[in-house]
A and B are shown apart, each in its own frame.
Chain A
Amino acid sequence: MSLPVIIKSNKYGINLILDNTMPFRELIGHIKDKFLESEKFFKNARMAISFEGRELTPEEEYQIIDTISQNTSIHIVCVIDNDEIREQLVKKKMDEYDSMAAGNTGKIYKGTLRSGHVLESETSLIVIGDVNPGAKVTSMGNIVILGALKGTAYAGMAGNEECFVAALDMNPMQIKIGDVIGRSEDKGFLASLKERKKSNTEPQIATVSGNQILIEPITKNTFNNI
């Protein structure tokens, strides 16, 4: 590493990238110099701090913060853990758990969802009622609507493209499954209303097929593939 101490700013405050070969006493000196250099820039700033590049004991962290606050007018509000690998691992585990749980359990909501209403679920979701235009249902798992889907439905929110959205009357504004998104045709409201009145509505299911949302009638075979 070329520099023993690098200051980087992030959305919370600053990130200190530290050399991990140098003895701690020497490093503290560098930190002091570095902050004195940039004292004017950080003047009276309130920020969070995080450390990178070196394992620090709580005592060492305390010493660094002490050095900064003694030599500059920076207020360190808190210390943030910056263990990216750990964070990613936790997230992965969480997502795996969520999508597993989402497929096996479900929640039932009874009532019509009107414009502006958002219903979120970490499991599969059954709505007994209509989802009106402007309303939105999201689920980590599948979504079944025993009524009309006229609004927006997002299934497999954690990225699971195996999920599906089913409705007795399928007329959505938008459907998203995993990261695949599909929207309805740009037809006038009155025109689509007339069209729907003419044709008989039948239960339909939306799945992901070849990176597109596929909507088809529900048949006996439908659920064999799910």
Chain B
Amino acid sequence: MSEVIVITSGKGGVGKTTTTANVGTGLAQLDKKVVLIDTDIGLRNLDVVMGLENRIVYNLVDVVEGNCRIKQALIKDKKYPNLALLPSAQTRDKTSVTPEQMKKLTDELREEFDYILLDCPAGIEQGFKNAIAGADRALVVTTPEVSAIRDADRIIGLLEANEIKQTQLIVNRLRMDMVKRGDMMTVDDVCEILAVNLIGVVPDDEQIVISTNQGEPLVGTQALAGRAFANICKRIMGEEIPFLDLDKKETVFTKLASLFK
């Protein structure tokens, strides 16, 4: 049974694309057949984060307009043959696709894939409406900042209004040092404000910037953020995984100590 999941946030720059790339890759690592769709028409960058930019021939708009078959537009991942990307068009805009067309597209992809992940553009206009049209489930990404949380709240309301059955929250870029000092909201604060189920907490990690620039998702590595994404993937599949202790200092000494435990 396949699932269509939209990754959305309202606000821009909170990590939707990074989350899509990492969750998609993480699910592929768990031997699922996954396709990522970049619905940010006109401002595509999921392909860049995946390191697949130079392989694009056809795109989402080509598929919808019937200029090519779906198979022709799907780009196979470098590492995982069970992971594919449907890139967005760079020379068009959000009005080139309708919600009905998106729904039809995701329904067709259901036959082939276990998970269809939609990277949603920022905002609540046409691009958002397109992205959520075919979705069964939503992952709302937010950072522990008021502006991102306000937008996430609005988005959750819109998802409810559009009858997306399951909405779960990812708190991204958490900085434990700031939380401890009382300069940042805690995860509990965020969850209390938004009143939705939490599916993952991703710490602020400079490894993410490095991996994004390299076009290699971080999931699957031992980096803290990479492990956080791997756990999110397992939770998406229904496993119960305890949340990471982000507070633990990862020093050589603690690593050694844990070996002897």
Query: With A112-B195, A114-B157, A116-B157 in contact, do A133 and B185 touch (Cβ < 8 Å)?
Result: no
A11 within 8 A of B: no
Rounded to whole angstroms, the CA-CA distance of A113 and B153 in the bound complex is 9
B156 within 8 A of A: yes
Kindly identify, within residues 169 to 183 of chain A, every residue whose CB is under 8 Å from any CB belonging to chain B: none
Q: How many residues of B contact A (CB 8 A)?
A: 16
List the A side residues contacting B195 at CB < 8 Å. 112, 130
Rounded to whole angstroms, the CA-CA distance of A134 and B185 in the bound complex is 19
Kindly identify, within residues 100 to 126 of chain B, every residue whose CB is under 8 Å from any CB belonging to chain A: none
Contact between A189 and B146 (Cβ–Cβ < 8 Å)? yes
Main secondary structure on A side of the interface with B:
loop
Whole-angstrom distance between the Cβ of B157 and the nearest chain A Cβ: 3
A193 within 8 A of B: yes
Contact between A190 and B183 (Cβ–Cβ < 8 Å)? yes
Contact between B157 and A117 (Cβ–Cβ < 8 Å)? yes
A194 within 8 A of B: yes
List the B side residues contacting A130 at CB < 8 Å. 195
Contact between B189 and A134 (Cβ–Cβ < 8 Å)? no
Query: With A130-B195, A132-B193, A189-B146 in contact, do A115 and B153 touch (Cβ < 8 Å)?
Result: yes
The 10 sampled A-B contact pairs (Cβ below 8 Å) are: A112-B195, A114-B156, A115-B157, A117-B157, A130-B195, A133-B153, A134-B150, A190-B183, A190-B184, A193-B189
What would 7 more interface pairs be, CB under 8 Å, given A113-B157, A117-B157, A134-B153?
Answer: A114-B153, A114-B156, A114-B160, A115-B153, A132-B153, A190-B146, A193-B185
Residues of B in contact with A (beta carbons under 8 Å apart):
146, 150-151, 153-154, 156-158, 160, 182-185, 189, 193, 195
Residues of A in contact with B (beta carbons under 8 Å apart):
112-117, 130, 132-135, 189-190, 193-194
